[in-house]
Amino acid sequence: MNKPILIIGAGISGLTTAQALRKEGIPFRVFERDSSPSFKSAGWGLTLNWALPTFRALLPDDIVARLPETFVDAEAVKAGEKGSFTFYDLSTGEALWKVPASERIRVSRERLRRLLLTGLDVEWNKTIGEITKGDADVTAHFLDGNTAKGSFLVACDGARSTVRRWMHPAACDNYQLPVRFVGASAEFSEFQIRHIRELDQYFLQGSDPRTDAYLWFSFLEAPGDPGCPEVRNGERMYRCQVCVSWPYRQGFFGNVEPISTPLTSIGQISWIKALSTDWAEPFRSVLQNVPNNAEIKAVELIDWVPRKRASEFDDWRVVLLGDAMHAMVMYRGEGANHAIVDVSVLLEVLKPLYGDLDLDDMETDQTFRAAVGRYEDEVVSRTETAVLASRQACLDAHDFSRLDDSSPLIRRRVMRTDLEKLAK
């Protein structure tokens, strides 16, 4: 029996890889640096759109059947509501653009991750420290002193990937955008959120042309969803994601120096309330009603443009996948969709090897080289433009004068865009 595929990282991309391998009967092991599934906070939502059919095709039937458990506002999904994802002028409340989609769903990241853990034996507290190449295998060395030997290794270890540093020693650093971002997970009563729900049942966005501050709002749990807050004082409750970002530049909001993110939670909540004081309704009220005990965090906006491996890294039994391969900011909501397609492409090139070859034979290394070369060619071609389009969408979101129908912030989400002019 061939040695297992080693998966580094138990986020959405790593777990999707594991479930796809489980469906195909290919042996694998999953390693995660966190101590348990609940180590991280509850998390936010994500949008599955053009990659949704691919996602369903990758997953075992038992997981596909339970996908509705992860939907945000399952009742609205069942009713066929897709949402319009409208962009608003926050100073007037005027609806400016809608982002169309043929099919999309909003899912809870936490509930999706919990579902994808089904049937998997994740090995927790495993932080990768080194990878060594064997004659016909690869060994992962962890900081706790343990090792694991496999036929192949898939690094799904995130935007600050350790494995990426080894594969691209001279070009591994992320690019930091000149924007600062905080996001809160907050509970609102049905009364407090009623006017937002009249605009959209899933999500919306907008910018203030006077300051270039940006708002993203989405629902995380609605009544009837698993994990939804209980009725309080006779009112149904909603859990929502409220994110605010602003340009890091001199003169913003009347300050001579750029405004950094406040260091404390209460400071961050006070800041987003100050930014939204004179926004139009209902956007102003939503921000002003964020409770002072809401879970809030700052997010560093970074990306990394994908490229083929450095010539000095010649272990073709190791690949990057997802954020490790193409970290992108969230302003087009495409990171998870591209990661799903990464898994599909990787599975397509690996399945013939695991079906027909003795992978312990040293002669198969050239076969791996050819297969991984095809994988990297496709991923780089597909996601280089996507990373840069997401970067431009972020910059446009914080420069209202740049916004028009051609902005990648507004354009329809598709697997391949017509924004090749952004590629360097």
Q: Is 248 an annotated catalytic residue?
A: no
The answer to whether 408 touches 392, Cβ cutoff 8 Å, is yes
**End-to-end CA distance of the chain, in Å?**
44
- The rounded distance, in Å, linking the Cα atoms of 87 and 216 is 9
> Cα–Cα distance between 320 and 225 in angstroms, integer?
34
Residue 168 DSSP one-character state: -
* Nearest C-alpha neighbor of 23 from the set 404, 343, 270: 343
Q: What does the block give as tokens for 18?
A: 């594991």
Asked if residues 159 and 324 have their Cβ atoms less than 8 Å apart, the reply is: yes
Give the C-alpha distances (Å, rounded to integers) separating 366 from 27, 371, 373. Answer: 21, 9, 10
The catalytically annotated residue of 202, 214, 238, 354 is: 214
CA pair distance 33, 16, nearest whole angstrom: 17
Residue type, 2: N
Residue type (1 letter), 242 = V
One-letter amino acid for residue 145 of the chain: G
Q: What is the DSSP letter of 360?
A: T
From its phi and psi, is residue 251 left (phi > 0), alpha (psi between -120 and 50) or beta?
left
Catalytic residues: 214
